């Protein structure tokens, strides 16, 4: 049996990069999909490819900061699929790089709004409406090495990922008896647009593809995953396999 057969996975930032690769890997493993992205054309392409792999798909262009939109899509997903079994909080922005002393209020607020607050609200809604009542689920929050050890010049992005790490640990404890697993994932160097923004001089061919990274996300989402809830895992820089 496929690893995600009869399970529904919601993936944010599914139009490109790791989010798209996760969505397609989940489709190959039998998952039904709820896909969101702010980039409508890229999202439509990902949805078409997932359907060609045999997946049932609900895909909507959506800024995850839009709480009414999130709630409406969640209601649609529950009506169509019965619930959400896996949530991958992948959507995020890099924000400004440079010393924190130079970060203005608007850039600070936007980076934390997308990377931390919107992740909190989406997770809260999915937990309350689907995972907690059904006593099952898996939440995977994309983090970063700079969210585990602060690094000069990474600005509000690093701070937002520290928040994601802490939030995930709190939820893991709060839901320890509810059959819901929580993880943060440091994908390590992966060939994405955000990576290219952060490291403009890096040869993209020198780092793994999003498709390789998606292997670890499949492992985490599978029911047999042995990583304890609350784990801060990372992916092997070459193979994309899990390390914790």
Distance CA 139, CA 190 (A): 21
* pLDDT at residue 243, rounded to an integer: 87
Q: Is the CB of residue 144 less than 8 Å from the CB of residue 157?
A: yes
CA 182: distance to chain centroid?
12
Q: Report yes or no on whether pTM surpasses 0.85.
A: yes
Q: Is the CB of residue 231 less than 8 Å from the CB of residue 244?
A: yes
Structural domains in the chain, CATH included, are: 8-243 (3.40.50.720)
Indicate the angle between helix axes 210-221 and 17-28, nearest 10 degrees. 50
CA 194: distance to chain centroid?
14
244 residues of the chain, pLDDT tens digit each: 899 999 999 999 999 999 999 999 999 999 999 999 999 999 999 999 999 999 999 999 999 999 999 999 999 999 999 999 999 999 999 999 999 999 999 999 999 999 999 999 999 999 999 999 999 999 999 999 999 999 999 999 999 999 999 999 999 999 999 999 999 999 999 999 999 999 999 999 999 999 999 999 999 999 889 999 999 999 999 999 988 7
Catalytic residue among 26, 157, 183, 199: 157
* pLDDT at residue 244, rounded to an integer: 79
* pLDDT at residue 224, rounded to an integer: 83
Is 157 a known active-site residue? yes
C-alpha atoms less than 13 angstroms from C-alpha of 50 in its C-beta half-sphere: 32
- Any residues with CB less than 8 A from the CB of 37 and at least 6 apart, and which? 12, 13, 14, 15, 16, 19, 43, 46, 61, 62, 91
For 198-219, write each residue's pLDDT tens digit: 999 999 999 999 999 999 999 9
Q: Facing residues of 126 across strands?
A: none
């Amino acid at each position: 049996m496929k690893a995600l057969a009869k399970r529904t996975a919601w993936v944010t930032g599914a139009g490109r990069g790791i989010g798209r690769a996760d969505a397609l890997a989940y489709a190959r493993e039998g998952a039904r999909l709820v896909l969101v992205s702010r980039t409508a054309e890229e999202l439509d392409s990902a949805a078409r490819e997932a359907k060609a792999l045999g997946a049932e798909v609900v895909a909507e262009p959506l800024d995850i900061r839009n709480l009414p939109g999130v709630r409406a899509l969640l209601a649609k997903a529950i009506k169509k699929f019965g619930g959400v079994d896996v949530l991958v909080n992948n959507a995020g922005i890099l924000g400004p790089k440079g010393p924190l002393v130079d970060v203005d209020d608007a850039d600070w607020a936007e980076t934390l709004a997308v990377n931390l607050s919107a992740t909190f609200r989406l997770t809260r809604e999915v937990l309350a409406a689907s995972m907690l009542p059904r006593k099952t689920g898996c939440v995977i929050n994309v983090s970063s090495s700079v969210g585990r050890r602060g690094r000069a010049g990474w600005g509000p992005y690093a701070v937002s990922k520290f928040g994601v790490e802490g939030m995930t640990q709190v939820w893991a404890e709060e839901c320890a008896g509810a059959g819901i697993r929580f993880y943060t994932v440091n994908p390590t160097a992966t060939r994405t647009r955000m990576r290219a923004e952060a490291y403009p001089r890096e040869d993209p061919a020198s780092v793994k593809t999003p498709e390789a990274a998606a292997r670890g996300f499949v492992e985490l989402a599978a029911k047999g995953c042995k990583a304890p809830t609350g784990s801060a895992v990372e992916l092997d820089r070459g193979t994309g396999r899990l390390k914790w």
